[in-house]
Amino acid sequence: MCFIFNSRIVNNFFLLFIASLCVVSCGQLDSLYDSDENESTAVDIWGQIMDEPAEVFVAADLSDAVKNGIVTGLAKAAEVWGNYGPVEYWVLGTEVDAANDLSELYCERRSQRGDLYKANCLAHNQQSDHGFESYRKVGYDAIISGQASTSMGRNGARDWGIHRFTSSYPIGFDSVLGATPKGEMITVYHEYFHAVQHAFIFSLDFDERDKKMGPTWFVEGGAVYMAELFVRKMLASGDLVMTDNHELDTFKVSFEFKMHSGKQSINTECPGTLFQDITYELACSYAAYDLGAWAIAYLSDLVADENALLNRFYPKLDDLGWEGAFQAAFGISSAQFFIDFDVFLNQDIETQKLILSDL
Ligand SMILES: [Zn+2]
C-alpha cells in the first residue's frame, strides 16, 4: 500500500516531492505466488539484533554517491536504533536495461531462496504497482519532467524472513532537481525505521501485524520524527559525517513547516477529518506524516524521553498490543491523548515549538 508525499520549501523555491514511503506489507500480494523451492528450515531470527549489515543492490546506472548514501544511511540508522534484519534494499535507476538486470538478479535470488517462482517474480516486477518497473518509472519521469519525485517502501516480507525495500532513484544523493544528500539521508533513516517497527512484531499473520503496527499517524509519524531527529543528532555529534554544502533546516523550522502543511492538507483535502482518522487512502494522508511527527514529539515530551518509542513503546508492543503498549509507554489512553493533542494543535506555534529539541 502506498501513498503520497511531501511539499516542501527548499531554498525559497517550491518543490513537489511525490515520495511514496510504502510501509504496509505487500506479503498478501506475494502470497499469491508459490515458490520453486521447498519451505526453508532455517531458524527464525526475526526481531533479533544481528551483526550482518543490510544488503544493498543498486541498478548499474546509479552513481557511487547513491550507493554509498544508501549503505551509509542504513548502517548509521542501525548503529543508533539497533541492527535489525535481514534487510534487502533494492534501488532502481532510470534506464530500462539496468532495471531489467536488477530484476533478473532479484528474481533469481527469490527463486533460489524458495520465495517465488522466477517467472512470476519477473512478471510481477514488470506489471505490479510495487514492481521494479513502477519504481524505475518514477525516477525516469522525475528526470524527464524536471519535477523532483521519489518513491520507496518497505514491501514486506515477514513470510520470507526479511525486510525488503524497493526504491526509485534517490535523487538527493546526486544533488539533482533541488534535492539534497542530507534530505535523502532522512528518507533512508525513515525507511529503516519501518524495519525497526516491524522487527518488534513477531507474528506471520498479516492482520495481526497490521493491527499491532497501529494507526497511520503513529506508524508514519514515528518514522518521520525519528528520522528528522536522529539524522540531526548524529550530524551534530559527528557520528554521521556528510560533506555536501546543503544544510538541513533546524529541527524546529522543519516541524513548524510540518504543522502548517499538515493542517493545510486536512483543511483543503479532507475538511472535517480528525487527525486520528487519517489513513493512507485519504487525499490528506500526508497530514498523518506531518501531524503524526508532532504527535510523537508530544508523547515523547510527555514522558521526558525523546527516544520514548524505542525505550518505552516498542519493547512492550508484541506482548501488550498497540493500545496496551501505548498506555504503558505514555501513561494515558489513546482516547485521552486525542483530546489533549487536539488542544495542543490549537496552541500558537511558538508554544508548540517549546517541546522540540534545539538541533
Ligand atoms: Zn513511511
What beta strand segments (E) does the chain contain?
7-10, 13-16, 20-22, 55-58, 87-91, 151-154, 163-167
* Rounded distance from Cα 175 to ligand 1 centre (Å): 22
* Rounded distance from Cα 219 to ligand 1 centre (Å): 7
Residue 328 has a CB neighbour count (10 Å cut-off) of 15
Mean pLDDT of the region 285-308: 98
pLDDT for 79: 98
pLDDT for 251: 98
* Rounded distance from Cα 234 to ligand 1 centre (Å): 20
Whether the pLDDT of residue 5 is over 80: the answer is no
Domain extent listing, the chain: 6-205, 216-355
Mean pLDDT of the region 93-116: 98
* Rounded distance from Cα 39 to ligand 1 centre (Å): 30
**Average pLDDT over all residues of the chain:** 90
User: Residue 154: beta bridge partners?
Assistant: 165
pLDDT for 43: 78
pLDDT for 3: 35
> Which letter, b or e, does each residue of 290-325 get, where b requires 16 or more Cβ atoms within 10 Å of its Cβ?
bbbbbbbbbbbbbeeebebbbebbbebbeebebeeb
pLDDT for 42: 64
The predicted-structure confidence for 22-76, as pLDDT tens digits, reads as follows 443 333 333 333 344 444 456 788 999 999 999 999 999 999 999 999 999 999 9
* Rounded distance from Cα 310 to ligand 1 centre (Å): 17
pLDDT for 44: 84
* Rounded distance from Cα 246 to ligand 1 centre (Å): 23
* Rounded distance from Cα 300 to ligand 1 centre (Å): 19
| Pairing, β 151-154 against β 13-16 | unpaired
* Rounded distance from Cα 19 to ligand 1 centre (Å): 9
| Pairing, β 151-154 against β 163-167 | antiparallel
pTM, rounded to two decimals = 0.90
* Rounded distance from Cα 232 to ligand 1 centre (Å): 18
* Rounded distance from Cα 289 to ligand 1 centre (Å): 8
CB 303 within 8 A of CB 297: no
The predicted-structure confidence for 237-283, as pLDDT tens digits, reads as follows 999 999 998 999 999 999 999 999 999 999 999 999 999 999 999 99
* Rounded distance from Cα 30 to ligand 1 centre (Å): 20
* Rounded distance from Cα 199 to ligand 1 centre (Å): 15
pLDDT for 28: 33
CA distances to 212, 214, 257, 316, 334 from 324, in Å = 10, 11, 32, 8, 10
The predicted-structure confidence for 131-152, as pLDDT tens digits, reads as follows 999 999 999 999 999 999 999 9
pLDDT for 4: 33
Report the C-alpha gap between 60 and 103 in whole angstroms. Answer: 12
* Rounded distance from Cα 191 to ligand 1 centre (Å): 6
| Pairing, β 151-154 against β 7-10 | unpaired
pLDDT for 27: 34
pLDDT for 218: 98
The predicted-structure confidence for 76-86, as pLDDT tens digits, reads as follows 999 999 999 89
Alpha helices of 113-160 — where are they, by DSSP H?
Answer: 118-127, 132-145
* Rounded distance from Cα 189 to ligand 1 centre (Å): 10
Whether the pLDDT of residue 225 is over 90: the answer is yes
By CB atoms closer than 10 A (0-12, 13-18, 19+), residue 176 is: middle
H or E segment and range at residue 206: helix 206-213
* Rounded distance from Cα 41 to ligand 1 centre (Å): 32
By CB atoms closer than 10 A (0-12, 13-18, 19+), residue 223 is: buried
